[in-house]
Structure 1
Amino acid sequence: MSQVVTTFSAERGPSERHVRILDAAERVFARAGFHAATMNEIAVEAGMSPGNLYRYFSSKDAIIAGMSERDRMEIAADFAGLDPGKGRLLDQLDELGRRHMVRKPREKAIIALQIWAEASRAPAMAKICAGFDETVEQGLGAAVEAAKASGELPSNLDQARFLLALFMMADGFFCRRAVDPDFDAAAGAETLFAAMRGLAQTMLLPPADGQTS
């Protein structure tokens, strides 16, 4: 993540100028595609000169890294805000998921698909995706552990398989939203989170030797 470290501080987050550039880049990438988009187009969208843009980001890859890191920091903060004292954790995860999967613009899903495509051939992009996935996995894992400890989820939930299923369903959701402009994101999220709740009660570890289910 060295491109990100030189772009903005993880503690302070992106500056107002960085945010302006990242928002502009998201619009350009969603409209033109990552490869067809140019730094000049991003500069125009951001209302600045290309020379000024290069003071903040050295390349499109650096912009993608900055976009991913901004999203990673946001979702890490959302997971950190989960609290059993605020109610059922599954309800809080449901709300967190809808915030990122439904209420965010469709362009986010389109860009995610482009980044995943790049990650299949570019090690730097694959590393960015891995870092984002690690943050989500840690946040979800901590929430599931807390829900098991409180009795909200079964203590014998097969957590590894459960989290894998959530990742695959979420990835499928983003792919569908990206490729289908008529996709009903709200209805899709309703189905996804109903499946999450069902799996949480049925995806259990096998009984230990000598025990019955």
Structure 2
Amino acid sequence: MNQTQRQQFFSRLRDHNPSPTTELNFKTPFELLIAVILSAQATDVGVNKATDKLYPVANTPQAILDLGLDGLKSYIKTIGLFNSKAENVIKTCQQLIDKHGGEVPDAREALEALPGVGRKTANVILNTVFKYPVMAVDTHIFRLSNRTGLAKGKNVREVEDRLMKVIPDEFKLDAHHWLILHGRYVCTARKPHCDQCIVTDLCDEYRRAQRQRKTA
């Protein structure tokens, strides 16, 4: 995919969804941080079911600490890996209080120092909360970027770096949300819905398949 095609790619996604955002339910930066920590290897729907019950009871670092580890687990036990996630959330809450006045920091280094927070989670917070034009690459975006030819790479960091280099500046702020939603609902892993896709003519894999059909 060349730069002219990338411009068309994101223009169409923007026209289709002018104001994309995360599907995780949150009202504060802290709520989003906890939701993203819980979302690792879990669905947004599953996380929302848990946090919709948790946040009315405890949605600040101190309130979650007051619940205690077992109390927190009782709310998130339906989420995969909930034991280790609960421990990370408790440790993160304590660190937020001890080092950041109970607030979510807006610096990558400080975010990545929090238990359970890696580069992808930090990028989600920096982008969604603090509006930094950064790219959080998950399995959906990794797959879509390689499949379409938007930005190819052997691992998520290569894809992230490539995306940041080739995405036109006007689209960088919202690109993460457009790509994850497109990968989640249209450019799916096993059977992409090419008949519903608004960028098929720009996709490397789709065009390759079309050429193979013509020569078969």
Instruction: Report the TM-score range of the alignment, normalised by the length of the smaller protein.
Output: under 0.3
TM-score, with structure 2 as normaliser:
0.27
TM-score, with structure 1 as normaliser:
0.28
Higher helix share: 1
